[in-house]
Structure 1
């Protein structure tokens, strides 16, 4: 059998994309998930704060996932769990394996890549010190506590102030551990402001900005972590060392889109995001292979992942009905103050009524103008009171503003006149 659509990944992006494709008329859909259950990372995120945009109510991660799992189960969408995708071919054949079916070569008319992202490890950032037990990524510790039922440590230092690290500072505290410090290399936090307040300030957990770990000491297990202030070049400042006795170091030092399969098949990557280059329809450079969620770029909120995934599901339905024009592409480029933009190129004819552009700035800014131009034309100007790299920005442009554009779109930050 040749499937109309195979979705690689059964997390929030894959579930929402598959369901949206289904309700837009796509038949013979298969979701492949390497874990033993659907839901992805949401299953271990037992804190609330999910769903405010999508469902207009506050849900935990498992509750949010369950909403989409139930929607998918009420359809004829096929699901293969505990199944590992080994390779994707350019002609949209997928090589996969599991204990029930063995080795499979599955054919499809279209593919959605929704593999999510992975955490950076100690090896990726090169922290000096002894090689000891007691060093975990924040996500691994979260799984140990929330799913496996193990407490990984009692006296905690956390390196990195990403959202997972902030949430784990609170989670470890609630489980009786003492979180002695959250240490951040940058002069600003990399987590959402609400998590700074709810996870650190509410529990009197100190946040050390412009600091990093310079040594890890112990015999078999972590016993002490030494941190130091850093200068403007991110180099440790001598004499500023602080020692913390602890038995666990958690790392919350960034997420990387999971794109080994994508690279192997020849999908183009964006070196700004480490994710995929996509069009306004979330299609990659390979015809019929689409992508959405954290495999494209790391999102702040699962609600934004869902929004993007729904858009992708609709686009696949149009593709299968030969309703994507895919012509006269215009690039979207980032200029002053902008770190990246997604999508990276657009076909104006394929935009239904509006274009949503996701972006991040490269520093903390206040009272700026977000300027969108194309050649000599000013497409839109937006005033922004506060911008930070930790919070993704969305710009929504109506199709009427874009229909006559011929030059690349450039997005930049400017001073308020």
Structure 2
């Protein structure tokens, strides 16, 4: 069994930053485990500002921290899925290259970021059809050469529209409507997206033959039908607490991520958590500060 002073689960911003801070603090052996084929997580497709007052895109930030990471001797396991953390901090993971293996860490940091709500969390009746996406999936399709997610798009929710705002304008996408929360119409308009805004409406039905062709929305018992070929959910991100849950780590019911104390320690000894995996942060510099504090608090 391989052993490390520090095992980091997740190779997004928080995971990379923890590795860098760990090396600055002279932690000798560090391993990052990432499920995707490369590091970066959500930074990889983020061409929008993640710095709040200081403007920097996710792609720019990824390039910056990967360049810094290259200065240090950090082991990286890509295309590797973590299943759970057993007793004695043994991280159980699987990959096509190494199969199922256990890796022991003196300390373990869960930094597996956030996730999007899926259609399964939506209470709408209707048909099982294609053309239903999250913002993240739509972003990946836009990143493909000469590809768009659809021609006539209805967006449900307004929390993360900013992530595809540039692509909607660049490809002149016909957005047939946006369903937003009560009081958020001005927020949607401030993005410069001049589409049909259905404030306070709820999605109640999805219909189509093979691919979505129309949906029904409702407000105050008034139902409207909207024809579209693509449905994109733009709901708030949630913390990814799957690994923590499988590892008998207490979750925070308000965020769905690991519950941590003031030192970012979870309910299990020598297991910590940070980044969007504990709550969704407003900007990248909050995560920078958090990762630095966590590493300083390691035993």
With structure 1 as the length reference, what TM-score do the two structures score? 0.67
Bigger radius of gyration, 1 or 2? 1
Paired position in structure 2 for 1:68: 65
Counterparts of 1:93 and 1:147 in 2: how far apart (Å)? 38
CA RMSD of aligned residues (A): 2.1
Paired position in structure 2 for 1:151: 148
Counterparts of 1:35 and 1:4 in 2: how far apart (Å)? 23
Query: Structure 1 pair 79/149, CA: closer, same or farther in 2 (3 Å)?
Result: farther
- TM-fit CA distance, 1:134: 0.9
- 1:349-400 C-alpha deviation (Å, 9 max, x unpaired): xxxxxxxxxxxxxxxxxxxxxxxxxxxxxxxxxxxxxxxxxxxxxxxxxxxx
Paired position in structure 1 for 2:235: 253
Gaps of 5+ in 2: none
Gaps of 5+ in 1: 230-236, 320-417
- Within 5 A, what are the aligned runs for 1:186-335? 186-189=181-184, 196=188, 199=191, 202-229=192-219, 237-238=220-221, 240-316=222-298, 319=299
Counterparts of 1:314 and 1:205 in 2: how far apart (Å)? 48
Q: Which has the higher contact order (CA 8 A, sep 6+)?
A: 2
2:50 matched to 1:50?
A: yes
Query: Structure 1 pair 170/212, CA: closer, same or farther in 2 (3 Å)?
Result: farther
- 1:26-68 C-alpha deviation (Å, 9 max, x unpaired): 1101111111110001111223x12356xx4x22211111111
What is the aligned length? Answer: 298
2:163 matched to 1:167?
A: yes
1:253 aligned counterpart, secondary structure:
coil
- TM-fit CA distance, 1:155: 0.7
Counterparts of 1:12 and 1:66 in 2: how far apart (Å)? 11
From 90, 93, 97, give the equivalent of 2:87.
90
Counterparts of 2:88 and 2:123 in 1: how far apart (Å)? 39
From 166, 172, 178, give the equivalent of 2:174.
178
Query: Structure 1 pair 137/102, CA: closer, same or farther in 2 (3 Å)?
Result: same
- TM-fit CA distance, 1:169: 4.8
Counterparts of 1:11 and 1:313 in 2: how far apart (Å)? 16
With structure 2 as the length reference, what TM-score do the two structures score? 0.92
CA contact (8 A) 1:278 1:291 kept: yes
Query: Structure 1 pair 198/210, CA: closer, same or farther in 2 (3 Å)?
Result: closer
Paired position in structure 1 for 2:125: 128
Query: Structure 1 pair 77/262, CA: closer, same or farther in 2 (3 Å)?
Result: same
Query: Structure 1 pair 161/73, CA: closer, same or farther in 2 (3 Å)?
Result: same
2:88 aligned counterpart, secondary structure:
coil
